[in-house]
Structure 1
Amino acid sequence: MVRRGPLITLAAVVVLAAVLLAVNVSKEDDDATPAPAPAATAAPDSTTTTTATPAAVEFPAQATYVGRIPVATGTLTLAIAVEGGDAVAYACDGSAIESWLAGDADAGRLDLEGREGARLDGDFDGETVRGTLWLGDRSWTFDAAPAEPPAGLYLANVGDVRASWIVTQDGTVTGVLRGGDGGTTPAPALAPDGTAVVDGETVTADPVSGSDTF
């Protein structure tokens, strides 16, 4: 009778060894698989976006702008005359308050000064002048639109008496007369033909341009 015990045992050992070998080979294959490469990251965009500053709007070679400013006592009327790089402005209430200012009109910007701390700063947007007017310790913002003749700023001198008028686009006339003693009163009526009676004398008022001096 053949004894098979040792043979069976040997066969079992061989099978077990084969299984362990297969497991080890499989594990080595897994370990040898390279890890996936990290995803490429795009470099940050170094381009800097800048916002262009709009170019200044130059004033026309010669122009006049008129606006009204509500104040506690009524209305101030403002006229600004520009010519070349110069500008003149006049503000009055048609009764007692008036101020003449003069200065530069450069690159669409106004920088004007007058007596007793009067000042006007403004910017031109291609159509309207917008800014701030200071008279003493008071200030107001304003919008002044283009004024076509006969609208504009007018002046007449008789001796040491000065009459000043602003004519708005709708034909309204506002003005102040300054006497030789410095006192102020409403200016005399300005006729449609530009004449007025100043200190008893009939005169023709002259249009004021930005290059005039006072």
Structure 2
Amino acid sequence: MKLQGPLVTLFAVAVIAVTLFAVNESQAPNRAAEQGAPLTEAGATTTATAPPTTASAAPSTTTARQADSAFPDEAVYVGRSQTGGIAVAVAVSGTKAAGYLCDGENVEWWLEGTVSGDTVTLRGPDGTRLTGQLADYAVSGEITAPGKRWQYSTQLANEPAGLYQGTATVNGKQNDIGWIVLPDGSQVGVRTVSGQSSPAPALSVAQGGARVDGAFVGAERIDGDSDVLASRFHAGSARGLCRS
């Protein structure tokens, strides 16, 4: 009877030890998972925030650069020579181009030509030549005429700015008129009658023409494939092509 007490004590201690061991083993997987979690999250974070490669960003940049270096299908560019004495208009349509140069008094040239990539080349029947290159939605380059040379720059013209031409018989005389309407609304143009040139009358873009000696002369907006040179010939002679 005296051994019962110690045996009970030993039995109780054994039960407690077994219980603690079982609890410790059941919590071991949770501790291992908790210790592994930060590594997994860190790896996920590194993958998610990895910067895009240079190769993946290159196509959009290249596409934008190509778009800027090619003429649109339809456009008109207007401006002046560097000295300001000559107004310049260049119209493009696909691979074709037309142009007009004038001083607003008695000098004018009509030209036709072609577009290739970012370059436009125009020529007149008297040897006048315009070359231009597109950059940042503007065209600039050089104009050469017999004994003359200018540098020029133009910008994209949104209507009503642009290039216009009017041809009509008034009081029995042929009138040929060219106008360049600049972005600020100002106009530069020349009127040619019977081989004599003078400043063009004011053009009303809203009304589509101008009043000339009491008659109304209609005006059309010129685009790149307009046949501007054909309208400058009458009875086999060139008129209004170059005055100096």
How high is the TM-score relative to the length of structure 1? 0.69
Match of 1:146 in 2: 156
Any conservation in 1 of the 2:86–2:102 contact (CA below 8 Å)? yes
Deviations along 1:38-89, whole A, 9 cap, x unmatched?
A: xxxxxxxxxxxxxxxx869210000000111144xx6211011101101111
Matched, 1:185 2:216: no
How high is the TM-score relative to the length of structure 2? 0.61
Matched, 1:162 2:176: yes
Of 201, 204, 209, the residue aligned with 2:218 is: 204
Matched, 1:79 2:89: yes
Any conservation in 2 of the 1:156–1:203 contact (CA below 8 Å)? yes
Any conservation in 2 of the 1:76–1:91 contact (CA below 8 Å)? yes
- Output aligned runs, 1:29-44, within 5 Å: none
Any conservation in 2 of the 1:58–1:126 contact (CA below 8 Å)? no
Q: Distance in 2 between matches of 1:80 and 1:199?
A: 29
The structural deviation recorded for 1:161 is 1.7
Of 112, 126, 134, the residue aligned with 1:124 is: 134
Question: Rg larger in 1 or in 2?
Answer: 1
Count matched residues. 158
- List runs of 5+ in structure 2 lacking aligned partners: 1-64, 230-244
> Percent of pairs identical after alignment?
36
**Greater helix content:** 2
Matched, 1:65 2:77: yes
Q: CA RMSD in A?
A: 1.8
Matched, 1:173 2:187: yes
Structure-2 change in CA distance of 1:207 and 1:192 (3 Å)? closer
Q: Distance in 2 between matches of 1:132 and 1:196?
A: 31
Q: Distance in 1 between matches of 2:120 and 2:211?
A: 33
Deviations along 1:162-188, whole A, 9 cap, x unmatched?
A: 111000000001110011x22111111
The structural deviation recorded for 1:135 is 1.9
The structural deviation recorded for 1:192 is 4.3
Match of 1:110 in 2: 120
Deviations along 1:135-172, whole A, 9 cap, x unmatched?
A: 21111111111010000000110133211100000000
